[in-house]
Amino acid sequence: MDPQHLVVHKFGGTSLAGAERIRAAAEIVLGRPEPRRAVVVSAMAGVTDALARAVALASARDAGYERELEALRERHRQTAAELLPPDAAATFGRAMARELADVHDVLRAAWILRHAPRGGADLVTGAGEVWAARLLAAYLGTRGADGAWLDAREVLVAEPGEGTARVEWAASEARLRAWEARHGGIPPTLVITGFVASTAAGVPATLGRNGSDYSASIFGALLGADEIHIWTDVDGVMSANPRLVPEAIVLDRLSYREAMELAHFGARVVHPATMGPAVERGIPLYIRNTFRPDAAGTRIDADGAPVGMVKGLSTVEGVALLNLEGTGMRDVPGTAHRLFGALREAGVEALMVSQGSSQNSLCLAVPAAHAEVARRAVDAAFFAERHHGQVGETEVDPGCCLLAVVGDGMAGNPGVAARFFGALGKAGINIRAIAQGSSERNISVVVGGSEAERALRAAHAGLYLSRQTVSIGVIGSGIVGAALLDQLAERAGAILRGRGVDLRVRAIANSRAMALDGRRIPLGDWRCALGQGEPLDLEAFAAHVQTEHLPHAVIVDCTADEAIARRYGEWLRRGIHVVTPNKRANTLDLAYYQELRRLGGGVGAHYLYETTVGAGLPIIQTLRDLIDTGDEVQRVEGVLSGTLSYLFNSFDGVRPFSDLVAEARRGGYTEPDPRDDLSGADVARKVVILAREMGIDLEMADVELEGLVPEELRGGDVDDFLHRLRDHDEPMTRLWRQAEERGERLRFVGAVDRDGRASVRLRAYPAQHALARLNLTDNLVQFQTRRYTPNPLIVQGPGAGPEVTAAGVFADLLRLASYLGTSP
């Protein structure tokens, strides 16, 4: 490395929040490979705020300012005691006492004057940087580094203005040379106060809030640095403020221009003025995290590696929208000139301007704090036009927010605006004004202030995430829900890599508890997450699943609960997709079913329930495809219960039927009460679902149901039932024998005809009939249609079991994602 290689490091307030953080910052400095370095420091976190408060209190004659100063003295004393050996801590204490005495005097003057002059206020607010620099330099000294520090007020000459101060480069350069001469050159490690400066006349000044980033690049330029590293509390510049958008990602590279745009539009991670001196000398900037010093951070340079179109999003809150409207503006040259002239006179900066080509109105965004001044200035400038009714009153809406999308790669690339506006539209956010310069590096919109965060998240999701990112809430952690979560745990990663479908389970609930996670619940550990969950609140659950920062939301209902099924309508209406193996919703009253079908028809939301019939077998989809392609379905008939399939596949006329039922129950093939299977109600539900899918208006009561639970066995407990079922073995065996004599098999079958006749009952089929040739828990559905004649279309396979049912639900989720991938 070049022996002159010099790097400027800047540490922000959070990186110097206390003794421990200062030690960590020093560790970074001490471990650096470059031969020379300058370390620019901010005040310890919160100190500038406290000093600014003290100024305000003193000016308002509130003695509370004394308490602020005392707290600051104590905080610094304690930090010094923790950080430094006693003699060095004492030296620090004496120096701080001298500076505090000056601060006191200035505040006393402010008290008397009822106001603090600019230089005085800047002397006070800049004191924190002096103390932080002393502390760090002293600590570096104890660690053997050359502990010199430079008070920027002796070197940096700047004239404070409305916003950022203006640097006097030549004067600053000369003072730096003088400083070098006094100190025998620049030491290998030099600590410098950020934020502070003085005017050419020697009056204390500051560069403006958050200005020590700017100090770093100013000193980078003055010292001829090769690199500037800005150390803060995040991994770099991110695609949006991570405190507002949990999904924000770190940007590896940015161009100076992109960084400047993002900073200008409120990304406080780096001060907008910082890029200026770096651009001129081509010094690369790095934004890095003191908490993770090994992470690469963001590199900002001239090139910026223009990958992708959009780099970042940012918001400016506290914006007012001014609207000037009237026919008198049209074709009158100089309207804009007068408007901006008036604003300049009033010292108001326009953040954004927008005028339609009709020229009937001109709209601008200004800081809300300046809204009144701006309105008065504009009204005065257009006094005559207003008087003649050619221009209306200037309308002001002070409660707005500006949202900007930034990226060099947007230039010449269509599509970003569509995605940006599409995402805002989908989130129901009204756009009040729009601007895009012809450089196409930035699109800005103004939205209502209360919608700032929602707008930012929605836009970020629309621009950054896979369009097939789905926020998932699973209700029900019984056997199907659990199997689904385990399958998702195993496959979600591969599906994301392979197909770009990002399935994020962010909420899981059972009947008692729910676990919510902002990003995603670690699925390897979902049982533990649910175990530590909070009490179930279905309102909060749905609100969490549907979040602005993810494009789509789905609730998967793995319960058999009617109360939950009753909520689908509301969820679909809100745009939450519903996927379910729960048969309840589709078999409640017809009107509810029709409403769900209408709501879940795919405009706002999708409603998928393939697994309500035949578990994982493709039955609903097959039926739908037949109908959609114009076939006429004449009859659907089949074995629709795995349990009843098993019972009649095993019934050989030798073992009593009641024995088989008891054994199946022990083997877990039946519901806890086998009457729930034998009654045929479950099969009837499936028949209703199939009939309604065929467009037949069928209610449960319309199904001719001949169940297998004799009238007198309907009451009583399960054991009693199993015992008394033996009395009915005889007629069952007789039925079997009669069938056998005809070469037939008994099957418990549900069927529905085109004319709406629906039945569920025991039937006998010739041995070579498809329905006679079933194994184990097979389901079989045959579709007799106009096209599938004389041979029906048959779907057959295991139609029950947690694994296959869960896989069917999983497949519905993937089908949903593929629908979503085609919509913007």
426 is catalytic: no
Q: Which range of residues in 73-81, 186-194, 229-237, 415-423 is near ligand ADP by CB under 6 A? A: 229-237
Residue 10: phi and psi, rounded to 5, are -120, 130
Q: Where in 268-287 is the site for ligand ADP (CB under 6 A)? A: 268-269
Query: Which entry of ligand ADP, Mg ion, ligand ASP, none binds 233, CB below 5 to 8 A by partner kind?
Result: ligand ADP
Say whether residue 267 binds ligand ADP (CB under 6 A): yes
- From residue 300 to residue 329, the character string flagging contacts with Mg ion as x (rule: CB under 5 A) and all else as - is ------------------------------
Identified binder of Mg ion from the candidate list 15, 172, 210, 784, rule CB under 5 A: 210
Q: Where in 243-262 is the site for ligand ADP (CB under 6 A)? A: 243
Query: Which entry of Mg ion, ligand ASP, ligand ADP, none binds 243, CB below 5 to 8 A by partner kind?
Result: ligand ADP
- Which tokens belong to 477? 């952690």
Query: Which entry of ligand ASP, Mg ion, ligand ADP, none binds 240, CB below 5 to 8 A by partner kind?
Result: ligand ADP
Query: Which entry of ligand ASP, ligand ADP, Mg ion, none binds 195, CB below 5 to 8 A by partner kind?
Result: ligand ASP
Residue 735, classed as helix, strand or coil, is helix
Pairwise CA distance, residues 99 & 205, whole Å: 16
Say whether residue 22 binds ligand ADP (CB under 6 A): no
Return the residue nearest ligand ADP (CB atom): 12
Closest CB to ligand ADP among residues 233, 729: 233
Q: Which range of residues in 7-15, 86-94, 401-409, 697-705 is near ligand ADP by CB under 6 A? A: 7-15
Say whether residue 237 binds ligand ADP (CB under 6 A): yes
Helix (H) or strand (E) holding 41: strand 36-41
The two beta strands, 149-150 and 285-289, are: unpaired
Strands (E), 490-614: 502-509, 513-516, 534-535, 552-557, 577-579, 607-608
Q: Which range of residues in 141-149, 209-217, 282-290, 341-349 is near Mg ion by CB under 5 A? A: 209-217
With contact defined as beta carbons under 8 Å apart, do 707 and 678 qualify? yes
Residue 534: phi and psi, rounded to 5, are -100, 170
**CB of 22 vs ligand ADP, minimal distance in Å:** 14
* CA dihedral of residues 431, 435, 440, 441 (deg, nearest 10): -80
C-alpha distances (whole Å) from 704 to each of 79, 562, 619, 697, 781 are 84, 23, 22, 15, 19
DSSP 8-state code for residue 601 = B
**Which are the contacts of 46, defined by CB distance < 8 A and separation ≥ 6?**
13, 17
Say whether residue 48 binds ligand ADP (CB under 6 A): no
Q: Where in 10-29 is the site for Mg ion (CB under 5 A)? A: 12
With contact defined as beta carbons under 8 Å apart, do 258 and 407 qualify? yes
Closest CB to ligand ASP among residues 164, 649: 164
Annotated catalytic residue, options 311, 426, 583, 686: 686
DSSP 8-state code for residue 250 = B
**CB of 268 vs Mg ion, minimal distance in Å:** 6
Residue 122, classed as helix, strand or coil, is helix
Closest CB to ligand ASP among residues 212, 785: 212
Beta-bridged to residue 814, according to DSSP, are: none
With contact defined as beta carbons under 8 Å apart, do 515 and 526 qualify? yes
Residue 712: phi and psi, rounded to 5, are -75, -5
Residues 725-741, buried b or exposed e (16+ Cβ, 10 A)? beebbeebbebbeebee
Pairwise CA distance, residues 317 & 245, whole Å: 15
Q: Where in 375-434 is the site for ligand ADP (CB under 6 A)? A: none
Identified binder of ligand ADP from the candidate list 7, 8, 12, 485, rule CB under 6 A: 12
Say whether residue 233 binds ligand ADP (CB under 6 A): yes
Strands (E), 549-655: 552-557, 577-579, 607-608, 633-639
Q: Which residues bind ligand ASP (CB under 6 A)?
A: 12-13, 42-43, 48, 128, 194-195, 209-213
Closest CB to ligand ADP among residues 194, 449: 194
Q: Which range of residues in 206-214, 377-385, 741-749, 798-806 is near Mg ion by CB under 5 A? A: 206-214
**CB of 128 vs ligand ASP, minimal distance in Å:** 6
Closest CB to ligand ASP among residues 264, 665: 264
Q: Where in 296-355 is the site for ligand ADP (CB under 6 A)? A: 312
Residue 381, classed as helix, strand or coil, is helix
Identified binder of ligand ADP from the candidate list 199, 206, 232, 805, rule CB under 6 A: 232
- What is the binding site for ligand ADP (CB under 6 A)? 12-15, 42, 210, 232-234, 237-238, 240-243, 267-269, 312
Q: Which residues are catalytic?
A: 686
Residue ranges binding Mg ion (CB under 5 A):
12, 210
